Chain A
Amino acid sequence: MLKQIEGSQAVAEAIGLCRPEVICAYPITPQTHIVENLGQMVDKGQIDPCEYINVESEFAAMSVAIGASAAGARAYTATASQGLLFMAEAVYNASGLGLPIVMTIGNRSIGAPINIWNDHQDSLSMRDAGWIQLYAETNQEAVDLHIQAFRLAEELSVPVMVCVDGFILTHAYERVDIPEQAQVDAYLPPFSPRQMLDPANPVTIGAMVGPEAFIEVRYLAHYQQMQALGLIPELAEAFQQQFGRDSGGLVKPYRSADADTIVVALGSVNGTIKDVVDEMREQGVSIGSLSICTYRPFPRKAVRSALQHATRIVVVEKSLAVGIGGIVATDVQMAVAGLHKPVHTVIAGLGGRPITRDSLRKLFRKADEGHLAHLQFLDLKHELVHEEIARMEGQRHSGPSAENILRGMGTIASQIR
C-alpha cells in the first residue's frame, strides 16, 4: 500500500510484517522512531505473538537478541553510532554463534566530538564482525531490504545489518509502498533454526574452542558469507517476482556501461550522485555511478566487472580510516587490483556535513579533467584546519583540537584563549 510515511515508521512497519518474535530496544538517536513505532505496534497487538523488551543498554539489547535467537525465536533490534560500538562484543558474538538476528543501523557518526548526524563510521567499524551488511539507498529500499534480510539471515544462519542513513532516510517523509502481509508471508517462511536450546535435545552452544579448531570455525564463517554472494541476487530476484520491485542485490550500476569516470558510494548519497551524473551527462561528460548495496560480503567480482571499462574511479565515502584514508576505497582498490586504474578517495559528509550537488559537480569535473588528488576531503574548511595545525606546531602539547577550532570560529568565548 502506498503511503506518505517517515522512513523510521516505514522500517518499523516492514519489521512488523516480518513477524519478529522478540524485539529488544534501547533508545539512541536517530534510531528511536523505529523502536518507538515497534513498541506501539506490539502494544496494539499488530505484531502478535511478540515480546518487546526494554533493556538497559545496547550491549543488553544484542545479548537479549542472542538468547532469544538461540532459543529459536526470530529476533530483532536496532541501534546506531555509540550504541553499536557499545554492543560490539555481542555483535561479534552473535555472528560467531551463527544466530540469524536482523538489526537496523540508523547510521550516525562516532564521537568524540559527539555528533548525532549521519555518516557511515559506525557500521563500517563493524565490517569484520561477521555480519552481512546491506545499505539502503532509499526508504523504499530500506523497507524491502529488511524483508530480504530475515530470509537471508535465516537461510544462512548469519546475522544481517540493514544500514539506513540517519535523518536523511530515517526522518524523511517519502512515498513508500508498504507490502501486504500475505505477500511477505509468501516470501518469508517462519524461522526454522538449525540448532536451538531445547530440553528435548540438549546441546551446548558457545563452548570454548582452542587452536585445534578455531581457525576452522572462522573459515566456516567466511564460507557462509561467501554463500551470501550467490544467495543475495537470488533473493532479490525472488523479491522482484513477489513484490514487483527491483530492490537490493549486490551492486547497482547507473549509466556506467560506457562511462570514463565511475563514482562509487554506499547508501542514500547515491541519489544525489545520480542527479549530478544526469546533469553532467547532459553536458557531455562521460560519467556514471555504482551503488554498493551489499558491503559485506564484499561483492568483489561484481564491483570489478562494473568498473572494468572505466578510466578512473572516484569513491565517495562517509567514513574515514584514520591514518590511511578511505575504508570503502580500500575494498574497491582490491576489487580492481591489476586493472591499473586510478582510484580516488573522497571523504565526504562526515558528521552530517551536507554533500551538495554543487560540491559533487566541481569534484567530478576535476576528476574528469584528471586533476583529482588521490585522497581528498570534500568541502574541508582548509583555513580552520591550517590555523589549528599552526597552533599545534607552536605549542607542542596535547589538547582538544575540536575545542580550539570552535574557539577559532568564535563559537566559544574567545577570551579563554
Chain B
Amino acid sequence: METTIKFYQTDTFTVGNRLLSEAERSVQAGMQRTNALNSGHRACQGCGEALGARFAVDAAMRATNNQLVACNATGCLEVFSTPYPESSWQLPWLHSLFGNAAAVATGVAAAMKVKGKQHIRVLAQGGDGGTTDIGFGCLSGMFERNDDVLYICYDNEAYMNTGVQRSSATPPAARTATTMPVGQHANGNVFGKGKSVPLIAMAHEIPYVATASVADLRDLEAKVTKAMSIHGARYIHIHVPCPLGWGADPSHTIKLARLAIESGLFPVFEAEHGEITGHRAIRAQVPVEDYLKLQKRFAHLFRNPKQVDVIAHLQAMADRNIRRFKLLEKSTPPTGGAAA
C-alpha cells in the first residue's frame, strides 16, 4: 500500500523539505528543477506570489516535460518578472493585458491544436484583481468552452501592484487604500464574504478546480501536476500572502498562509466536474484572531475598543468553511497526490 507521510511545514526554512526522502520532496527541493521563474526578479521580500508562481510553474513544467507556454495578466507577477530588457521567465511567456489572460491562453491553445502541437500545454496566470474582477468575463468564457488551459489565480486579496486597493477577493473588514477603517468604512472593507472564484468555477462544471496555498507547497505541486494530467479547463486558486499589502513581517508569509488554512478562513479543497472530491484537513482549528493579529490591515479591529463583533463575524465565516468543506474530518488528498 502506498504510504503518505504527513508533512507539516514549520516555517520558511523548511520550504525545501530536505528532511523527507528523495521521492517525497518537492520539485523545488531537487537539483534538477527547471526554475521557470529565475532569481533576480524584483518581487518584494517575502512575496507569496513569487513563491507560489515558482512552485506552480515549475511543477507544470515538470508535468509537461517542459512543453509549456505561460500567459500572464498584468499585475505584480508580470511587473516584477519582466522589466525590459530583463526577463525571469525560462519558458515561452506572453503578457497582453490585465483582463484577458484566459482568452489569450485560449488563443494559444487553439493555435497549438491547429498546428498539431497539442503536446504543448498552456498555463494562464493572474492575481485576484485580474481573475475575480477585470478578467472574470474572459475566465468564465474559457471555462464555459472548456478550453484546454490551466488558469492559476494567485490570490493576495487586493490590488497590490497599484498600491493596495480593494478587490472583490478582499476579505471583509480588511483595510486597503480604498477601504480605510474610517467613516462609512468604519470596519475596513465592506462585509460580504469576498467573491469565491473556486466555487464559481465549480458551477461551470469544469474538469478540475482546486485551492492551494504557499503554506503547503507539496500539495500545491501535486495539484498542479494533477491538473496537467487532465485536458480541458482547469482552475487552481492559490492563497499568497502579501507582506506589503497586508502589513505583515516578510518572514511571516508562510506562517500567515498556514494560519489562514488552520483557522478555516482559507479552505483547501479540490473538485472535479463540479463535485468536491477532496479536502485538506486541519489539525486543530486556531482562532481567527491568531491570523488577524499579525496583519496591520486588521489592526483597527484590536484597538480600543476591540471590535469583538467584527472578529466574531470573521470567526463565523471560518466556522462555516469548516462545516461546509468538512475541514476537521480526515483529509482526502488529491488522487495521485503528494506521494505519487
Interfacial residues, chain A to chain B (CB-CB below 8 A): 21-22, 24, 49-51, 53-57, 59-60, 63-73, 75, 89-90, 93, 97, 197-199, 201-210, 212-213
Contacts and interface: CB of A to CB of B under 8 A. Distances in A.
Interface stretch (B105-113, B163-171, B217-225): B105-113
Given A198-B92, A204-B93, A208-B84, A67 B71 contact: yes
Contact of A22 (B67, B69, B97, B110): B110
Contacts of A72: 111, 115
B305 interface: no
B192 interface: no
B89 A67 contact: no
Contacts of A209: 84
Given A21-B115, A56-B137, A57-B141, A67 B95 contact: no
Contact of B85 (A24, A73, A213): A213
Contacts of A24: 107
Nearest to A24: B107
B107 A59 contact: no
A63 B113 CA distance: 17
Nearest to A96: B96
Interface in B133-150: 137-138, 140-141, 144-145
B82 interface: yes
Contacts, number: 159
Interface residues of B, number: 45
Nearest to A214: B84
Given A75-B111, A205-B94, A208-B78, 11 more contacts: A22-B110, A50-B114, A51-B110, A56-B144, A60-B100, A60-B141, A64-B107, A71-B112, A202-B91, A205-B93, A206-B95
Contacts of B84: 207-210, 212-213
B114 A67 contact: no
13 contacts: A50-B114, A55-B141, A66-B96, A66-B107, A67-B105, A69-B111, A89-B99, A93-B97, A197-B92, A197-B108, A204-B87, A205-B94, A207-B85
A235 to B, nearest CB: 25
Contacts of B105: 67
Q: By CB atoms of chain B within 10 A, which of A67, A75, A90, A204 has the most?
A: A67
A159 to B, nearest CB: 13
B145 A54 contact: yes
B114 A49 contact: yes
